[in-house]
Amino acid sequence: MDGKPLRLIAATDTALGIGRDGRLPWHLPNEFDRFLSRVTAVSGPGKRNLLIWGRHSAVRPSQPLPNCHRVCLSRNLSCVPPGADHLCRDFASAVQLAYLPPLSDHIETIWVLGGTHVYQLQEALKHPNCDQIYLTNIMADFNCDTFFPEFDRETFRLLEEFPGIPSEIQEENGIKYKFQVFQKVTSQ
Ligand SMILES: NC(=O)c1ccc[n+]([C@@H]2O[C@H](COP(=O)([O-])OP(=O)(O)OC[C@H]3O[C@@H](n4cnc5c(N)ncnc54)[C@H](OP(=O)(O)O)[C@@H]3O)[C@@H](O)[C@H]2O)c1
């Protein structure tokens, strides 16, 4: 693969729901910590990841995200909102940041963090460098009003095991969930 990997990451319920009333309908701190660890993981000093999210989905952890440049997508905002480092008017411009100075030498992975509008962009799932989808499968129905898009599970195959990701079912606050990684099948 030429270029930098581009990956989607989300937590979904049994109906592929991701949110309700503009929020996450579950409270799973350990799952959220693992999500933060995943998107901030880099191979060494000076390396960074590019995190892309829509205006309604900014991640607001209690402390800054290390090793990251955060991009907010909006067609309406005129200045970079709190919690972001960059503002882009479209997805292609956001991805392009990873390939242009001053970020190009540093960015390793481009993470797409939602919400629905952004996950549904064909430019994301169909991007030639989109090689993996990380989904936490929350094993309950939360009556969500926003959803992760259906995707081709022949193109993206569920891996039985993935290094660093527990394969057993997790439980938090009485809610069961499991971590899943879907890997794009590439033709030889
Ligand atoms: N479970 C999960 O893993 C997860 C992850 C993220 C979010 N969520 C949930 O998802 C819900 C929010 O999703 P959402 O779809 O309503 O909001 P969103 O995708 O976060 O934000 C939508 C806004 O982003 C901007 N935008 C989106 N696509 C764009 C594009 N291609 N170019 C330029 N700007 C673009 C637009 O802002 P302007 O209107 O300013 O132009 C749009 O109104 C919440 O419930 C949240 O909790 C869940």
pTM over 0.85: yes
Is it true that domain 6-184 has CATH number 3.40.430.10? yes
Indicate if ligand 1 lies below 6 Å from the C-beta of 17. no
Read off the pLDDT of residues 90-130 as tens digits, 9 standing for 90 and up: 999 999 999 999 999 999 999 999 999 999 998 999 999 99
The Cα diameter of the chain in Å comes to 47
> Ligand 1: which atom is nearest the Cα of residue 24?
47
* Active site residue ranges: 24, 31
pLDDT mean across residues, the chain? 94
Please report the pLDDT score of residue 62 as a whole number: 59
Indicate if ligand 1 lies below 6 Å from the C-beta of 112. no
Residue 73's beta-bridge partner residues? 54, 88
The pLDDT-based confidence of 73 (bands split at 50, 70, 90) is very high
pLDDT for residue 1 is more than 60:
no
